[in-house]
Amino acid sequence: MSNYIVPLPSSLECLPNEILLEIFGYIQVHDRLRAFYNLNNRLNCILFASNVHLYILYPDDIQKSKINENILLHLIKSERYISRLRLIDDKSILNQKFIRFSFIRSLIVDIPTTKLISMITPELFSRLEYIHTGYSSAKINLDTLHRDIFSNGFPLLKKCSLNNISINQQWTGSPSIKILSVWSDNPRIVVERILHALTHLISFHLYLNWLPTHDILDNQIISQHSYLKCLKLHLYGLWTLEKLDSFLAYIPTITFLSLYSSYFDSHMISFQWDFKELAYIFKCRLPNLCRFNCEFIIKNQSKIDLKEIYSLHSCFHRINYEKYSDNELFIKIFTNK
């Protein structure tokens, strides 16, 4: 048997391109430029071979380091290496005219304005895969943007984070969206419009405020959703277990469920969590449930028997509680990690 050992490459440049691309993927863009840029033509070509391996976040990456400012600006102006864009306000739009929006895959709009929203069109952002919009005032018209999002106007879009939903236009559905985070104060709209439009939604992060004007959902709004697996639900307003039951009836495929309520919500802090009834709802509505997380801040009105709770459902074994205030007026019910 031969004991010959293949010698390792004596320098970085001896490595094949595929290995160098893998290495560069673990190095921040500024460190990459400082260490390898302009050493030779081969390394330059590998550094910027594909925007899969180089993500320049404008304007953050420009502002972080003066050393590479000229290099990055040159790349952004002349090449297609910018894949992520963050717009803080519309004052800097003039400075961003040189950006080729068609190559951007990730878009964050911190403070939506009429000018910014009007820019976000399928024609300009044809490769968009992720969009996040922050809080906007009621004066900002989001109808067209939400129509494009929920009507497959961005056919590559996979993930959305939207602060509120405008429903003044009809939607035709968007099967590409798999992950959604949204705030709403209308449970019927969530079921009738959002779940109906996103037939292949897998993960849903929902902030839902149940107003006094909304009653329990009836059972004939739409057909049951057949793809949704993960739901993180933040409860606000006038929820009851009956209302929760009517909502969960539309998403029977859930396997991971998280429920949260806020200490600052005067309605939810007085909510009475009957875990026996909750277990019954889970068994009837969510037959595939395998993990349950929760965090509630409620008034300390009755003794909690953890052993009894654990016996009610297989997903309740991680539930715990602790006092939330020194005077023990409030307790926190939560799940251990």
160-202 per-position pLDDT tens digit: 999 888 788 889 999 999 999 999 999 999 999 999 999 999 9
Q: Is residue 208 part of a domain?
A: yes
Instruction: Give me the helices (H) in 8-96, please.
Output: 17-24, 29-36, 41-47, 60-64, 69-78
Structural contact between residues 297 and 330, judged by C-beta atoms closer than 8 angstroms: yes
Provide mean pLDDT across the span 12-41: 78
Torsion angle, alpha carbons of 237, 242, 243, 246, to 10: 170
Q: What is the pTM of this model?
A: 0.79
203 shares a domain with 311: yes
User: Given this model, what pLDDT does residue 67 score?
Assistant: 52
299 shares a domain with 248: yes
In terms of residue numbers, what domain contains 227? 178-336
Beta-strand ranges (E) seen in the chain are 57-58, 84-87, 106-109, 130-133, 159-162, 179-184, 203-210, 230-237, 256-261, 291-299, 319-323, 330-335
Contacts of 44 (CB under 8 A, 6+ apart): 37, 38
Helix pair 241-248, 275-285: axis angle to 10 deg: 10
Total count of domains within the chain = 3
Q: Is residue 168 part of a domain?
A: no
Question: Residue 158: pLDDT band by 50, 70, 90 thresholds?
Answer: very high
Which of 38-52, 128-142, 317-331 shows the lowest mean pLDDT across its residues? 38-52
Answer yes or no: is pLDDT of 310 > 90: yes
67 shares a domain with 147: yes
Q: Is residue 59 part of a domain?
A: yes
150 shares a domain with 23: no
How far, in Å, CA of 127 to CA of 145, rounded? 15
How far, in Å, CA of 328 to CA of 314, rounded? 29
Structural contact between residues 56 and 82, judged by C-beta atoms closer than 8 angstroms: yes
Question: Residue 46: pLDDT band by 50, 70, 90 thresholds?
Answer: confident
Q: Is residue 2 part of a domain?
A: no
211 shares a domain with 155: no
217 shares a domain with 123: no
How far, in Å, CA of 328 to CA of 331, rounded? 7
212 shares a domain with 286: yes
25 shares a domain with 138: no
Q: Is residue 170 part of a domain?
A: no
Structural contact between residues 255 and 231, judged by C-beta atoms closer than 8 angstroms: no
Q: Which residue has the tokens 């056919």?
A: 155
228 shares a domain with 137: no
Structural contact between residues 58 and 87, judged by C-beta atoms closer than 8 angstroms: no
Backbone angles phi, psi at 125, to 5 degrees: -115, 65
Cis peptide before 59 (omega within 30 of 0): yes
User: Given this model, what pLDDT does residue 66 score?
Assistant: 56
User: Given this model, what pLDDT does residue 262 score?
Assistant: 86
Which of 50-59, 209-218, 263-272, 309-318 shows the lowest mean pLDDT across its residues? 50-59
Work out the percent of the chain whose per-residue pLDDT is above 70: 82
Burial (0-12, 13-18, 19+ Cβ within 10 Å), 290 = exposed
Q: Is residue 143 part of a domain?
A: yes
327 shares a domain with 307: yes
User: Given this model, what pLDDT does residue 52 score?
Assistant: 42
Of 22, 74, 17, whose CA–CA distance to 46 is shortest?
Answer: 17
Q: How far is CA 105 from the centre of its chain?
A: 15
Of 276, 267, 277, 204, whose CA–CA distance to 239 is shortest?
Answer: 267
200 shares a domain with 327: yes
Average pLDDT value for the chain: 85
Q: Is residue 15 part of a domain?
A: yes
221 shares a domain with 210: yes
User: Given this model, what pLDDT does residue 194 score?
Assistant: 95
Question: pLDDT tens digit string along 241-282?
Answer: 999 999 999 999 999 999 999 888 888 988 889 999 999 999
Q: Is residue 240 part of a domain?
A: yes
